[in-house]
Amino acid sequence: MQRLLGLLVLGMVCTIGLSTTGCKKKEDEKKPKVEGGGQAATVTYEVADKTVTVEQGKSADIKVTRKGEDLKDATLGVENPDDKALTVTGGEFKGDKKTATLHVKAAADAPPKDYTVTIKAGEWTDKVTVTVEKAKAKAKPAAAPEIDVGDKAVTLKQGESKDVTVTRKGEDLKDLALEITSSDDKAVTVKGGKFKGDGKETTVSISAAKDAAAKEYTVTIKAGEQTKTINVKVEKAGKGAMNFRPQRDPYLAVGREELQVAAPSVTRRQTVWFTREF
């Protein structure tokens, strides 16, 4: 009976707030227990950017920092509003590290609009707006320049040369040296074939050796995957014989001019007459 009366008295004393070692305040019950005494350490979090923009099929990062004492391994919680449109990974704090990164990837077919991603850590919560934009159209690669040759067939006398014009058209024109080969580089030789800067024209010089066999040869011109061919026909060199009138023709048509030259092939010196239109 005496013990019961004692407990009742103690309860009344605690109720009216008198200090006593036998009483426990309700405020004390609410305080978290901390080993070694003192208040529990508070960790605060902060999102670096509250808005993030990402293209369809690409990724963006969300950085979250934390401050406080006794930092330990922790992982951020994430609420993804549409896990088909967005994929959110990462968000791990390692040891006492103060920064964690969330990786947000938009699906290639994600509808272009705003999505709200919620980030949590204990009682802390924040929101980030992720704006998905339509993927930009890929630029078409510049088309390879297209080359062409002015003459696809050339006829040369032994010892003669001729220039052939090579042209090109296209985008992003730069210095270019054509790859030129001859079917017989002793009989038919080639020189030139270099485009400078954005130039659209160059010259290839084709020469027949004096002792080249009289027949057909091939000159091949390459630029990247393109190939052009020039057929070269070599003929025997003449001995200076020319078509001429052995004497002055009194019946020359009006509008012609007479030129007097000495034909080198004639055995004796003889005056001959040539004509040219004008």
In the predicted structure, residue 264 carries a pLDDT above the cut 70 = no
If one looks up domain 146-235 in CATH, what number appears? Answer: 2.60.40.10
**Domain limits, CATH 2.60.40.10, in the chain:** 44-133, 146-235
**DSSP three-state, residue 111:** coil
- Claim: this prediction has a pTM higher than 0.95: no
Ramachandran bin of 43, using left for φ above 0, alpha for ψ from -120 to 50, beta for the remaining angles: beta
How much is the average pLDDT of 188-194?
Answer: 91
Query: How confident is the model at residue 256, as a pLDDT?
Result: 46
How much is the average pLDDT of 131-160?
Answer: 85
Task: Report how far residue 133's alpha carbon sits from residue 110's, in angstroms, rounded to the nearest whole number.
Answer: 9
Q: What would the pLDDT profile of 154-178 be if each residue is shown by its tens digit?
A: 999 999 999 999 988 877 788 888 8
In the predicted model, what is the mean pLDDT of the chain?
Answer: 78
In the predicted structure, residue 268 carries a pLDDT above the cut 50 = no
Q: What would the pLDDT profile of 64-116 be if each residue is shown by its tens digit?
A: 999 988 899 999 999 999 999 999 999 999 999 999 999 999 999 999 999 99
Tell which residue, 107, 223, 116, has the closest CA to residue 173. 223
Contact between residue 107 and residue 80 where contact means Cβ atoms under 8 Å apart: no
CATH class of 44-133: mainly beta
Query: How confident is the model at residue 267, as a pLDDT?
Result: 47
Query: How confident is the model at residue 141, as a pLDDT?
Result: 66
Query: How confident is the model at residue 18, as a pLDDT?
Result: 44
